[in-house]
Structures are given as structure tokens and as C-alpha cells.
């Protein structure tokens, strides 16, 4: 495939918000390693990098390292690398929201409501196979049934779970329903 | 504007003003180094409660009240089950004794949060009131109270009062930013164990369960049409020690059928830890009675 031309990675104007000079220096070094121009917070930066509080700036433009604050545009772990930091700064500058992996989720929620249509043990086995990315053929082989039977069950699962794809069926039927006790 | 409307609005405004004066001494602004301000509620002398899910993994904080007095605070304990974190402060004044309020559908609810300038206030109504419910993290919350009120992450954990100035509980953000109230009675129930032990113990089986339809040919023997299939077993957990397997179907606990996760949660309260309980399983088409010794749910 022919490339339509690489996106030119223009440097951004990035400010840092730090509580002390040591942090200020650390963050400024990261900004320059990303190849961006360091500007003052008051200069209307494209993005802001911080390790802690970042008052007086628009929260959606802030990339925070090792801080969990849902109002910030970007949340990365404290030990995020330059590549991740650069990507996050560019993303928040473009109006996107960035969340790193292993972030502690806000997860205070009720136990799942009971599904209107419960699945049978066989349907659950098939759903688990779908969740593992198995094809109908592979699922049939694993469970010792015919591919035709698998197809029948998959169609019934989509109907029961009101799902339009296998992925949606797995999400609705398994991920939201399994509870650890 | 007709006189009656004018009077109604000024009365409402005065009532809110009064409500704010009741709440003001309770509203705690919680600052953890390097984080944005959070809200909490002075629950009793020297004890502030707040939202557990919103609180960073920190042990210390500074708590500031609306009169600008600031106190050093230590995290005494946290309970993801009821979403309550308890902070202990040195030498706060006694909070005004506000009576616990019962939620009424459609009743006025007034929410408060901490603000850099003091406190912020929100007006809404009690959107729904339901029975006790269980959170995924294993906690039992005495009433299901939702509010028709906007609450920001900064305000979460502040007190919610009713029209008469009684305290309904503390605000909490649920799924999809729905605003819930953790009722006063639930906060009262977890505060002692959190202060003395730092946590609230709850029962744990070490098994992942999924609701399932019992195959028709086994329904009469099992005595139930719905049950829970074991989808995973934690290594060295009670279920593993009792030799439970993935694929087993759990039909009953302690002689009572369990057809939903909430029914399992009822058997795993704080008193269940260390106790043996009887289980009925379906394995390979046969009914199988067994038992496990409930362990304490490991910290997250």
C-alpha cells in the first residue's frame, strides 16, 4: 500500500506544573526529550505535563504522571517512557483522553442484575470459546460437537443476549456477569 | 411576579441557606500531596469519612474545614465494599449532632462538597429508594438511594442532607456517574472495624461465578431452575481447597438455593469468615454435597 505521506510531527508548546524545582527540572527534561518547546503555564500551552497538582490550567490539557485524577486529559504511570509521554501530550493537545494500563479503576458498582435470559452450561462453554477467539470449527473440535451445532448455539446466544457481534455477546454474557466471591 | 411565587422562592432560598449552615462544619476538604482537592464529611469528633474509590494510595492528608482550620490526618482504614475511607484527625471540634434521615422518594436532597473557597452546595431530589444491595466488592449497603443531582469527583464524599437538615449519608459516584448515597447506617456499621482494624472483613470463597440455567433433566433433583456455574477457582482459596472445579454448578449454600450473585453475597458477610458452610453442586450431571471453610476476602 502506498503511504499517503507521513504526518509531520511538529513540536508542541508544552508547560510543566511542578511543586518544587527538582520536579520542575525532571519534567522539563522529559519535555525536551520529547522534542517539544518548553513554555510557561501562562503562555497558553498546547499541553501541560505534571506529577501532581496542576492548578490554573485546563484539566483536559494535562498529562499527569503517577496521579489519578479523572479530570485530567492524560493519566500515565509514574514510570511512563518518553514515547508514551510524547504520545499522550500529542493526544491531549488534539482533544483526546489518554489512560494508561493498570490504572486503578473507579469500580464501586452493584452486583450485576440478573440477565433476562439465562444461558445454559453449554452456551456458556461456547461463549468462553468465543471469548478465547476460537472459530466455530475450532470450538466444535474442542467441545466434541458438530460445527453446525456450534453455529446454532452462537445464533441463539446473539439473540438471547441481544448482541450484534461475538465480541458484544462475550462482553454482555460473560464479562459483565461473572462475579468473584 | 405574583407574591406567592416570590414567597415560595425566597422561603426555599432561606431554607437552603439554613441547610448550608448546618452542613458547613461537617464539610471537609481533603488534600493529599500533589493531588486535587477532595471532599469528606466530619462524622464524629476526630473522624472524617470520604469516598474510598476516589482516594489515592496515600496514608496521610491535610483536612481543611470551611472556617479555614486545617488538621493533619491519617488514613485509619478503607473499605472498597461500601466505598468508605476513614481518616483520623487530631483534635477537631465536635460536629453538630445532625439526626440520621430516612430517604423519601422525591424528597429534597441537598449535597455539599469542599471547595477552595469553603463549601459548595447542590440541590436535587431523591430519585429512587430501594432495599439493601451488595456491591461487587462484597459490601452490603443498607438502602439503595440514588439522587437526581449533579456531583463532581471533587464533591464526592461530602454530606447529603434532607429538607429537615437530617443527614442521609455521603455522596458517591456510581457507574455512569449516577449519584448514590451511602446511608448513614452503613457508614456507622463500617466505621468501628475501620478504626480498630483498618478494614472490614468479609467472606471469600475464591471462586468466580456466573448465573446459569440448570439443565432441565436436573431441575427436580436440584430443586432449582437457576444456579451459578464456577468459571474460575483462585489458587489456594477455599474453593480450591474444597476441591471445587471449573464447570461445577453451585445450586445451594447452607441449604438455601442460590440463583443470583446477590444471594451468594448474603452468605458471605463479616460473620461468615472462618465458618464452614455446606454447598450443593452439580458435577457431571450428579448432585454432590460438600462444604468449604469461608476465608477472609484478600485486600485488593
Cβ-Cβ contacts under 8 Å, B175 against chain A:
109-110
Cβ-Cβ contacts under 8 Å, B51 against chain A:
108
**pLDDT tens digits, residue range B121-154?**
999 999 999 999 999 888 999 999 999 999 998 9
Average pLDDT of span A110-117: 78
CB-CB under 8 Å, B34 with A53: yes
CB-CB under 8 Å, B212 with A119: yes
Contact criterion met (CB below 8 Å) for B63 and B152: no
A116: contact with B, CB 8 A cutoff: no
Average pLDDT of span B51-61: 88
Candidates B35, B173, B175; nearest CB to A69: B35
* Pick among B32, B36, B39, B235 to test the A interface (most A CBs inside 10 A): B36
Domain limits for position B160 = 108-185
Q: Residue B233: inside a domain, yes or no?
A: yes
CB-CB under 8 Å, A112 with B133: no
Cβ-Cβ contacts under 8 Å, A110 against chain B:
133-136, 144, 174-175
CATH of the domain at B260: 2.30.42.10
Q: Quick one: closest CA in A to B260, which residue?
A: A114
CB-CB under 8 Å, A177 with B207: no
pLDDT of residue B104: 96
Cell of B114: 469542599
Are B217 and B288 part of one and the same domain? yes
Say if residue B168 is exposed, middle or buried (CB neighbours under 10 Å; 0-12, 13-18, 19+). buried
Per-residue confidence band for A103, with pLDDT thresholds at 50, 70 and 90: low
- Domain end, chosen from B185, B219, B241, is at B185
A106: contact with B, CB 8 A cutoff: yes
Q: Residue B195: inside a domain, yes or no?
A: no
- Going by their DSSP bridges, the two strands B70-79 and B179-183 should be labelled as unpaired
Cβ-Cβ contacts under 8 Å, A108 against chain B:
51-53, 80, 83, 135-137, 172-174
Q: Quick one: closest CA in A to B249, which residue?
A: A121
Average pLDDT of span A150-166: 90
What is the ipTM, given to two decimal places? 0.76
Residue bearing the bigger pLDDT, B38 or A77: B38
CATH of the domain at B141: 2.40.10.10
Q: Is A16 left (phi over 0), alpha (psi -120 to 50) or beta?
A: beta
In angstroms, rounded to a whole number, what is the distance separating the alpha carbons of residues A116 and A145?
27
Are B173 and B258 part of one and the same domain? no
pLDDT of residue A6: 47
CB-CB under 8 Å, B261 with A112: yes
Whether A3 has a pLDDT exceeding 50, the answer reads no
Cβ-Cβ contacts under 8 Å, A112 against chain B:
136, 261
Exposure pattern of B212-244 as b/e (b: 16+ CB <10 Å)? bbbbeebeeebebebbbbbbebbeebbbbebeb
Q: Residue B113: inside a domain, yes or no?
A: yes
Number of domains present in the structure of chain B: 3
A121-175 carries CATH number 2.40.50.100 = no
Q: Residue B41: inside a domain, yes or no?
A: yes
Q: Residue B101: inside a domain, yes or no?
A: no
Candidates B34, B80, B83; nearest CB to A19: B34
Query: In sequence order, what are the beta bridge partners of B283?
Result: B286
Q: Quick one: closest CA in A to B259, which residue?
A: A114
A110: contact with B, CB 8 A cutoff: yes
Residue bearing the bigger pLDDT, A101 or B292: B292
Residue A68 to residues A63, A140, B75, B87, B96: CA-CA distances in angstroms?
A: 11, 45, 18, 19, 33
Average pLDDT of span A20-42: 91
Q: Residue B276: inside a domain, yes or no?
A: yes
Q: Residue B192: inside a domain, yes or no?
A: no
Q: Which residue has the cell 459483565?
A: A176
Q: What is the DSSP string of A86-151?
A: HHHHHHHHTT--EE-TTPPP----BPPPPPSSPPPHHHHHHHHHHHTT--HHHHHHHHTS-HHHHH
* Pick among B141, B212, B237 to test the A interface (most A CBs inside 10 A): B212
Among candidate residues B135, B49, B143, B43, the one with its CA nearest the CA of residue B96 = B43
Nearby residues of B239 by Cβ (< 8 Å), 6 or more positions away: B205, B206, B207, B230, B233, B292
- Domain end, chosen from B157, B185, B213, is at B185
A118: contact with B, CB 8 A cutoff: yes
**pTM value?**
0.74
**pLDDT tens digits, residue range A115-129?**
777 889 899 999 989
Contact criterion met (CB below 8 Å) for B269 and B263: no
Q: Residue B197: inside a domain, yes or no?
A: no
pLDDT of residue B4: 62
Q: Which of A42-51, A96-105, A168-177, B229-238 has the lowest mean pLDDT?
A: A96-105
Whether B6 has a pLDDT exceeding 80, the answer reads no
pLDDT of residue B215: 87
Instruction: Compute the mean pLDDT over every residue in chain A, rounded to the nearest whole number.
Output: 84
Number of CB pairs, chain A paired with chain B, less than 8 A apart: 115
Amino acid at each position: 500500500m502506498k503511504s499517503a505521506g507521513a504526518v509531520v510531527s511538529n513540536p508542541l508548546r508544552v508547560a510543566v506544573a511542578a511543586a518544587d524545582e527538582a520536579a520542575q527540572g525532571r519534567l522539563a527534561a522529559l519535555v525536551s526529550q520529547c522534542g517539544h518547546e518548553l513554555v510557561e503555564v501562562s503562555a497558553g500551552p498546547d499541553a501541560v505535563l505534571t506529577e501532581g497538582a496542576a492548578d490554573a490550567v485546563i484539566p483536559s490539557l494535562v498529562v499527569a504522571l503517577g496521579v489519578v485524577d479523572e479530570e485530567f486529559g492524560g493519566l500515565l504511570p509514574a514510570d511512563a517512557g518518553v514515547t508514551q509521554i510524547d504520545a499522550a501530550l500529542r493526544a491531549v493537545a488534539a482533544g483526546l483522553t489518554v489512560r494508561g494500563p493498570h490504572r486503578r479503576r473507579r469500580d464501586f458498582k452493584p452486583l450485576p442484575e440478573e440477565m433476562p435470559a439465562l444461558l445454559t452450561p453449554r452456551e456458556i462453554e461456547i461463549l468462553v470459546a468465543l471469548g478465547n477467539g476460537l472459530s466455530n470449527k475450532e470450538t466444535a473440535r474442542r467441545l466434541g460437537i458438530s460445527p453446525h451445532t456450534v453455529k446454532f448455539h452462537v445464533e441463539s446466544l446473539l439473540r438471547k443476549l441481544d448482541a450484534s457481534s461475538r465480541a458484544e455477546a462475550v462482553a454482555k454474557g460473560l464479562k459483565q456477569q461473572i462475579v468473584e466471591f | 411576579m405574583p407574591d406567592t411565587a416570590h414567597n415560595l422562592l425566597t422561603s426555599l432560598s432561606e431554607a437552603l441557606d439554613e441547610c448550608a449552615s448546618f452542613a458547613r462544619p461537617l464539610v471537609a476538604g481533603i488534600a493529599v500531596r500533589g493531588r486535587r482537592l477532595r471532599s469528606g464529611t466530619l462524622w464524629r469528633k476526630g473522624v472524617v469519612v470520604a469516598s474510598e474509590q476516589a482516594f489515592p494510595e496515600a496514608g496521610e492528608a491535610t483536612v481543611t474545614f470551611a472556617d479555614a482550620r486545617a488538621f493533619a490526618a491519617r488514613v485509619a482504614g478503607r473499605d472498597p465494599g461500601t466505598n468508605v475511607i476513614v481518616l483520623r484527625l487530631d483534635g477537631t471540634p465536635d460536629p453538630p449532632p445532625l439526626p440520621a434521615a430516612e430517604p423519601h422518594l422525591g424528597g429534597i436532597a441537598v449535597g455539599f462538597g469542599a471547595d477552595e473557597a469553603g463549601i459548595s452546595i447542590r440541590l436535587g431530589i431523591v430519585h429512587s429508594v430501594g432495599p439493601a444491595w451488595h456491591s461487587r466488592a462484597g459490601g452490603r449497603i443498607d438502602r439503595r438511594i440514588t439522587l437526581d443531582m449533579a456531583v463532581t469527583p471533587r464533591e464526592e464524599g461530602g454530606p447529603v442532607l434532607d429538607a429537615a437538615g437530617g443527614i442521609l449519608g455521603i455522596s458517591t459516584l456510581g457507574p455512569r456517574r449516577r449519584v448514590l448515597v451511602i446511608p448513614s447506617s452503613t457508614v456507622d456499621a463500617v466505621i468501628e472495624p475501620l478504626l480498630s482494624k483498618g478494614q472490614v472483613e468479609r467472606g471469600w470463597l475464591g471462586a468466580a461465578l456466573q448465573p446459569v440455567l440448570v439443565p432441565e433433566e436436573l431441575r427436580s433433583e436440584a430443586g432449582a431452575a437457576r444456579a451459578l456455574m464456577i468459571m474460575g477457582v483462585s489458587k489456594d482459596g477455599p474453593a480450591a481447597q474444597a476441591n471445587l472445579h471449573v464447570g461445577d454448578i453451585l445450586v445451594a449454600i447452607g441449604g438455601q438455593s442460590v440463583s443470583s450473585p446477590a444471594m451468594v453475597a448474603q452468605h458471605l458477610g463479616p460473620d461468615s469468615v472462618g465458618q464452614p458452610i455446606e454447598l450443593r453442586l452439580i458435577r457431571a450431571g450428579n448432585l454432590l454435597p460438600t462444604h468449604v471453610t469461608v476465608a477472609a476476602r484478600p485486600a485488593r
